Structure 1
């Protein structure tokens, strides 16, 4: 934008100089053309100045509203209706419930792995028996203890990121109608069961990874951090920049307006003098 302002100032200065020369030389037609061009440019400059003044006021009001909301989180501010935040206790309860769901999904998947896939049932015990065989599948790591505190993965467990890849090695090729498939090759899980297990794992992974961020959105802590950064680092420079731009445009507009008035007055004065000499 700085280069555009310099270009506008240069054009306006050029018009002012040309208008002054043409008016001194008495070139009324060229002065009239310059007056028309100058008024067009002046109109555009004034409109641009008004837009930047509006931008400056919007930026200033927005920054004040964000700063007030950050400084007084319990008070009723202008942003409360736009950002309805819940209290910390409710947000923490939501996080706890999401952790419970994650832990329950992991337990469900591990129940299938331990009690079905890794068991060798007799052929008559359908549908638990599907000719599963081979090395045992690893269980899925539960990231939470029973009290929902963080838990480290035990040796032999697979985490959310590697579960699908590791379990793929235990998938068998099947024969038979859908719903009654039997493994035709060594393996501990059918393709259908593998798909269901990986889907449940993906849901657990999503809850585990994004629940803290969603809770930050819910209690507005993430928004508060963002607003603090904007008000401290972006607002001062943006307010100064928008103010400088519209002030510069106003100065340029005022200078061109005075130049146009001077051209018109000087040209009319020369025309009157010429008429007096003729008389």
Structure 2
């Protein structure tokens, strides 16, 4: 259905509750891989001596493709039988009814019966074309909506990754009163920045590539179905009209055209039946994956979790930078709250005075676990507003000339540090989602809940419409020839009756 990303062979992560780390390594399919939609995909595989396929949902496995395609074998067989057998039959009918004139008198019963059936099958063809046209439109829209949703989720992930990368890069350049992050932390930031950019670039490239390919296929499929619906409707109506008028030559041309079109429509019907089954398999596979999100499955080829090494490093570095920035801010605050004698160094004594500046709450401990804020500590969302009350006016040499413990420059630098820390804190749930793959789970839950019902329903509409049109036009072909011949025999019989002795009495009885 929807093929968007490529994945690696190893998936690590945290469980949904975040209680303990679970490590899955794809060493072998027997002990680590989850077979998706196992019962639903158990079908005979013609490429494996018609043994039952047991590999589960996997669109990259040719055995799965052969097994699901085999569900449409009856339609393909009907198409072959129709093309060969009915072609010969139509030829014989044309010869018997149009060339042999040993029994020129027509049957009123056959004439009326052919007319009724022809009218019925023509109406059926019209209804089938309407179902086909409506179904293809709704299927195209529902598929496009699903694709747009998945692409939107992918783009949001890429955007969030780049935002985290930008915030980390900004943290590297922060300096408060000549105090900055340690050099090893800056080096780690550069390394993680490159990892994030590589992951985001790969994700974006795969998304755009597969989005383009899928939309191209959808466009071609929609165009083909619209053409089939329009041509089959036109053929059905023209065939009915020509047979009514007894235009045998034009009927024969339409018979040959319809013969080929019905064969193509039956084949297309079989393809859509297989597609309908693939859609159903995919929806079941998504639902099963949601219950086992960290297991390695064939679904990784469509929507994998982000590389765990990148997610792990990003989360770790984000917490490290957030912790150190708050510590750096609080160090400056502690220095500003000191009342040193004039003999102290300039960095400690800039004539600060007034109430003590409240410190910033650090949401993390030294080992990067969550910490509860203490009374009097400021939160990220109100720290800069509170600190504005502690800013003094400074002279040309940078010392305070009014009451206050923070210079405007210090306040500005501290505000930048708080904004960066706040940004990293806000992206913590996103980074957690990368680790436990919840963002993929949420995407698949949404697809299974809101998109799969429409995809299943409208793909079924398409192949039902194709089947109706195929059968209706198939039977109409025979009736076109029969009715046109009966029409010809009717005219011939009328002439024979009118030219025979006692033709008036006989003609009245016949009429």
Same fold (TM over 0.5): yes
Report SS of the residue matched to 1:247: helix
Q: Which residue is equivalent to 1:142?
A: 362
Distance (whole Å) between structure 2 residues aligned to residue 109 and residue 150 of structure 1: 19
Task: Provide closer, same or farther for how the CA distance between residues 14 and 235 of structure 1 changes in structure 2, counting only shifts above 3 A.
Answer: same
Q: Which residue is equivalent to 2:417?
A: 200
Distance (whole Å) between structure 2 residues aligned to residue 43 and residue 133 of structure 1: 93
Q: Which residue is equivalent to 1:223?
A: 440
Which segment is superposed worse, 154-163 or 54-63?
A: 54-63
For 1:129-168, what aligned pairs fall within 5 Å after superposition? 129-145=349-365, 150-168=370-388
Is 1:239 paired with 2:456?
yes
Whether the aligned pair in 1 keeps the contact of 2:132 and 2:464 (CA below 8 Å) is: no
For 1:185-196, what aligned pairs fall within 5 Å after superposition? 185-196=402-413
Distance (whole Å) between structure 2 residues aligned to residue 79 and residue 234 of structure 1: 17
Q: Which residue is equivalent to 1:114?
A: 334
Report SS of the residue matched to 1:79: helix
Q: Deviations over 1:150-208 (max 9, x none)?
A: 444333321011112222333345453xxx53445544323332232122222322333
Distance (whole Å) between structure 2 residues aligned to residue 29 and residue 137 of structure 1: 100
Supply the RMSD in Å over aligned alpha carbons.
Answer: 5.1
Distance (whole Å) between structure 2 residues aligned to residue 175 and residue 32 of structure 1: 103
Q: Which residue is equivalent to 2:469?
A: 252
Report SS of the residue matched to 1:154: coil
Whether the aligned pair in 2 keeps the contact of 1:65 and 1:77 (CA below 8 Å) is: no
Task: Provide closer, same or farther for how the CA distance between residues 95 and 76 of structure 1 changes in structure 2, counting only shifts above 3 A.
Answer: closer
Q: Which residue is equivalent to 1:83?
A: 304
The structural deviation recorded for 1:65 is 3.9
Report SS of the residue matched to 2:299: coil
Whether the aligned pair in 2 keeps the contact of 1:85 and 1:219 (CA below 8 Å) is: no
Which segment is superposed worse, 224-233 or 245-254?
A: 224-233
Q: Which residue is equivalent to 2:127?
A: none
Whether the aligned pair in 2 keeps the contact of 1:94 and 1:215 (CA below 8 Å) is: no
Which segment is superposed worse, 58-67 or 200-209?
A: 58-67
Report SS of the residue matched to 1:169: helix
Task: Provide closer, same or farther for how the CA distance between residues 212 and 5 of structure 1 changes in structure 2, counting only shifts above 3 A.
Answer: closer
Q: Which residue is equivalent to 1:210?
A: 427
Task: Provide closer, same or farther for how the CA distance between residues 258 and 122 of structure 1 changes in structure 2, counting only shifts above 3 A.
Answer: farther
Distance (whole Å) between structure 1 residues aligned to residue 131 and residue 340 of structure 2: 78
The structural deviation recorded for 1:112 is 0.7
The structural deviation recorded for 1:128 is 3.5
Distance (whole Å) between structure 2 residues aligned to residue 245 and residue 32 of structure 1: 29
Task: Provide closer, same or farther for how the CA distance between residues 101 and 237 of structure 1 changes in structure 2, counting only shifts above 3 A.
Answer: same
Whether the aligned pair in 1 keeps the contact of 2:132 and 2:463 (CA below 8 Å) is: no
Q: Deviations over 1:66-115 (max 9, x none)?
A: 3454455675421346635788xx98898677545433322221111121
What are structure 1's unaligned runs of at least 5 residues?
Answer: none
Q: Which residue is equivalent to 2:282?
A: 62
Which segment is superposed worse, 5-14 or 148-157?
A: 5-14
Q: Deviations over 1:109-162 (max 9, x none)?
A: 11111212x334456632334443443322111224556554443333210111
Distance (whole Å) between structure 1 residues aligned to residue 425 and residue 232 of structure 2: 61
Whether the aligned pair in 1 keeps the contact of 2:357 and 2:390 (CA below 8 Å) is: yes
What are structure 2's unaligned runs of at least 5 residues?
Answer: 1-129, 138-225, 496-511
Which segment is superposed worse, 22-31 or 129-138?
A: 22-31
Report SS of the residue matched to 1:192: helix
Count of equivalent residues: 271
